Amino acid sequence: MAKSKAAKALVFRCVSCGHVEVKWLGRCPGCGEWNSLRESTAKGDEGPERAGESFPVPIGAIDASEASRMSTGLGEFDRVLGGGLLRGSAILIGGEPGIGKSTLLLQVAASCAVSGRVLYVSGEESPAQIRMRAGRLDAVREGLEVFASGNLATIRAALDSLRPTVVIVDSIQTLWSDEAGSVPGTANQIKFCAQELVGWAKAHDSSLFLVAHVTKDGLIAGPKAAEHLVDAVLSFEQGEGDIRVLRAAKNRFGSVDEIGLFRMGPKGLSELLDPSGLFLVRRESGLPPGVAVAPVHEGSRVLLVEIQALAVPAKAGFTRVYSDRIEVARVSRIAAVLEKHANMRLSDNDLYVNVAGGMRLTEPGIDLAVAAALWSARTGQALPSGAALAGELSLAGEVRPVVQMRKRARAAANLGFGLVLGPADEYGSPDPGDKGAEKDTSDWKRVSDLGGALKALFGGTGPKATKGEKA
């Protein structure tokens, strides 16, 4: 970590204000507190040590107020972080090249520079390029300093002299240190440099953003090694067109369910404030076969998304499932439930499943909509327009409860959906932060199994009872 080997000398440090004395005193000259000096090791000028980290303190005496969170200037970013940027935290942001990581962080840098000093370190672009971009983003601020370097030693020297409250390093793949031996960009180099920078940030109560380029297949070896060193791992992903999605894969200080939604425009990224209907496809006439809409609960809000399915005779003699927005295993499981409990032959078909708007969906509540889309694709019969479905499917073909069903029904109704299908039982209590919950009278058509749901959607042509034989 960031401790220098020479700094082992003992000092006395005040528990309440961090003041350091070379000898013990009954009263702290820094804050006037009595009996607050404790033995500690001097760490050169490594900045304030925090009670409980460098010496034991009563748990109630630790300052852990939410006030130590700072806004990034983008509410959608704050949401993903768990309510803003926590001082002393380290965040890794991965994304494909060109997705907008540098743009996003330059905007965050500008916003944080209003209340503190920010250092934007870039090993990717020249200061002139960064200045040009900052001009376009209206991100030129007095407290924002730019340093084009990838050398760890010079970056550390800059950090020590500037003492920024927010540090952005773009990217960790361009960092290198003589101490780490090998060539820049290797896993060893990345890990060593990341560890040093995280150590510095923790010791100085600064927030650190590390940018990582990742390929389509996910985090490559180097940045992966940095994942466990940081407090949060975020990924910045492509949605449809100019839409960008920020999500957390790991977050020590918040949930990983929240997603942030942005739009990339000529002046950088802007927040998408009412995204509930964003992932719907507007059509003049009714729905084509193979399309079903699901109210999806993402973090603390509901989004309506369109799920599209296509079933075509299998080319290779066995079924293949092509789906990169919804897990293949889940689609296969839903197809198996349709075979078994809805008399639908799918095993001689290749199945394609997609989500309009490029949204990646992981929550269980989409099962019923995926099933309806597959059924519709296979039979060629379209769902009634104005229908939305939520529910998890059990292997026995039952529609299982999902979280926040009432909120989903309300979101769907607000967007003009007249027929909302969902599980018979409610599950969990209303979201305490949900302002519309009290006067909510939204309701949905309750279905208890797949057969019932398909009947409600497709009328008499839906499957009768589930006998298990194939159509």
Single out the segment in contact with Mg ion by CB under 5 A; choices: 64-72, 99-107, 382-390, 397-405.
Answer: 99-107
Minimal distance, residue 122 CB to ligand TYD, in Å: 10
Which of residues 28, 99, 243, 411 is near ligand TYD by CB under 6 A? 99
Q: Please, are residues 165 and 87 in contact by the beta-carbon 8 Å criterion?
A: yes
Beta bridge mates, 297: 302
Q: Near Mg ion by CB under 5 A, which window of 28-36, 101-109, 220-228, 369-377?
A: 101-109
Stretch of 97-105, 200-208, 251-259, 408-416 lying at the interface with ligand TYD (CB under 6 A): 97-105
Cβ nearer to ligand TYD, comparing 262 with 352: 262
Short-list 20, 194, 239, CA closest to 92: 194
Among 72, 102, 173, 251, binds Mg ion (CB under 5 A): 102
CB 423 within 8 A of CB 391: yes
Per DSSP, 144 falls in state E
266 binds, among Mg ion, ligand TYD, none (CB under 5 to 8 A by kind): ligand TYD
Euclidean distance between CA atoms 141 and 48, whole angstroms = 27
The CA dihedral of 32, 33, 34, 35, to the nearest 10 degrees, is: -130
Interface with Mg ion includes 173 (CB under 5 A)?
no
Query: To 5 degrees, how large is the angle CA 215–CA 216–CA 217?
Result: 90
Q: Contact between 264 and ligand TYD (CB under 6 A)?
A: yes
Q: What are the helix (H) ranges across 270-347?
A: 328-341
Between CA 32 and CA 393 the distance in angstroms is 64
Phi-psi region of 82 (alpha: psi -120 to 50; beta: other; left: phi over 0): left
Q: Per-residue contact track with ligand TYD, 329 to 358, x per CB under 6 A? A: ------------------------------
In terms of residues, how long is the chain? 471
The interface region with ligand TYD, picked from 67-75, 131-139, 399-407, 426-434 by CB under 6 A, is 131-139
Residue 341: helix, strand or coil by DSSP? helix
Task: Single out the residue of 136, 252, 283, 345 in contact with ligand TYD (rule: CB under 6 A).
Answer: 136
Which residue type, as a one-letter code, is found at position 292?
A
Q: How near is the Cβ of 100 to ligand TYD at its closest, in Å? A: 4
| Interaction of residue 266 with ligand TYD, rule CB under 6 A | yes
Task: List residues binding ligand TYD (CB under 6 A).
Answer: 95, 97-103, 133, 136-137, 264, 266-268
Which residue ranges make up the site for Mg ion (CB under 5 A)? 102
